[in-house]
Amino acid sequence: MAVYTDVSDEDLRAFVAGYDLGDVLSFKGIAEGVENSNFFLQTTSGPFILTLYERRVREEDLPFFLGLMEHLSARGLNCPVPVRNRAGMALGRLAGRPAVIVTFLDGLAVKRPSAAHCRAVGAALARLHEAGRDFPIERANALSLPGWAPLFARAEAEADRVADGLAGRARRELAHLADAWPSGLPSGVIHADLFTDNVFFIGPELSGLIDFYFACTDAFAYDLAICLNAWCFEADCSFNLTKGTAMIGGYQSVRPLEPAEVASLPTLCRGSALRFMLTRLVDWLNVPPGALVRPKDPLEYDRKLAFHRRVETAREYGWMAR
């Protein structure tokens, strides 16, 4: 359960009184999430989500995240939108943290995605990329190639305590990616964390996307690689080509990939796998005392990385430039 910061009833009521949301009916911490403290807030106006921004979120990035949700929603993408208080402000402060109330999205995350889910996610990702094209703010990806070595440095000394040889594998991967990382690919706003817990479905239909707090400006194909890693592997970390093909097909039904993007996918998948292995490793080794959080397994991404190392080209995956 990701609740790093407690909120007293008194503070909550005073905070909500600044909005036109009526009275608080119930308020409880949410048993999912890793990054921020999230609460389900029911008022006489309906359900909302209250988020207190924690450790990785820099306050200067909040206008990007909040503006992006408003921008995407205005272009027809179903995502939460920040609620403004009576002073017209979306961003407030609660329990010493930056805090925002956003609209509640109906739907459920899928635990075991099918190829049809993967296709729908691919299409939604491409729609997000298209809808973000005219978003006026840029935000560099702090968790791309230049960010990985400093991240690794925070975990290197203890990595082999988590798995034999992990430090060496990460070191070699960093060196490989420093040489092989592509540049000049089509870029724009990417979600950068579109995992299964951040996509909602109602029945078979994709109903909405949440959690834009890693969103940034980077290569569109890198976002697709993040999704391939998150959605198209089975529990035993074997890659499911049917799901991967469905996801890429869904993406291309909205935004055709350029040949250079297809050719770069294997490297982007390696980079994305290393990125999530490293953030999970750092989190695994640094759970804040008293935090209610279930850190995610870094070794899942070590295994995905091992798969990608064995498969070198888009042709070997069965991904052909179309």
Ligand X SMILES: Nc1ncnc2c1ncn2[C@@H]1O[C@H](COP(=O)(O)OP(=O)(O)O)[C@@H](O)[C@H]1O
Nearest residue to 3 (alpha-carbon basis) of 40, 41, 42, 29: 29
Contact call for residues 15 and 92 (beta carbons, < 8 A)? yes
Asked if 278 interacts with ligand X (CB under 6 A), we say: no
Q: Give backbone dihedrals phi and psi of 276, rounded to 5 degrees, phi first.
A: -75, -30
DSSP state of 182: -
Give the tokens for residue 221: 């194909």
Asked if 34 interacts with ligand LJ64HWYM (CB under 6 A), we say: yes
Q: Are strands 97-103 and 46-52 parallel, antiparallel or unpaired?
A: antiparallel
Residue span 177-216 as binding mask against ligand X, x where in contact by CB under 6 A, dash where not:
--------------------xx-----------xx-x---
Contact call for residues 116 and 242 (beta carbons, < 8 A)? no
Which partner, ligand X, ligand LJ64HWYM, none, binds residue 187 by CB below 5 to 8 Å per kind? none
Which partner, ligand LJ64HWYM, ligand X, none, binds residue 173 by CB below 5 to 8 Å per kind? none
SS3 category, 304: helix
Minimum CB–partner distance for residue 134 and ligand X (Å) = 24
Asked if 223 interacts with ligand LJ64HWYM (CB under 6 A), we say: no
Minimum CB–partner distance for residue 195 and ligand LJ64HWYM (Å) = 4
Asked if 280 interacts with ligand LJ64HWYM (CB under 6 A), we say: yes
Query: Please, how many CA atoms are within 13 Å of residue 118, restricted to the half-sphere of its CB?
Result: 26
Applying CB under 6 A, among 181, 231, 233, 276 the residue interacting with ligand LJ64HWYM is 276
Contact call for residues 83 and 21 (beta carbons, < 8 A)? yes
Q: Which of residues 172-201 bind ligand LJ64HWYM (CB under 6 A)?
A: 193, 195, 197-198
Using CA atoms, how far apart are residues 48 and 29, in angstroms rounded to an integer? Answer: 12
Using CA atoms, how far apart are residues 79 and 135, in angstroms rounded to an integer? Answer: 15
Minimum CB–partner distance for residue 189 and ligand LJ64HWYM (Å) = 17
Interface residues toward ligand LJ64HWYM, by CB under 6 A: 33-35, 193, 195, 197-198, 211, 276, 279-280, 296
Binding interface with ligand X (CB under 6 A) = 2, 30, 32-36, 38, 49, 80, 102, 104-105, 197-198, 210-211, 213
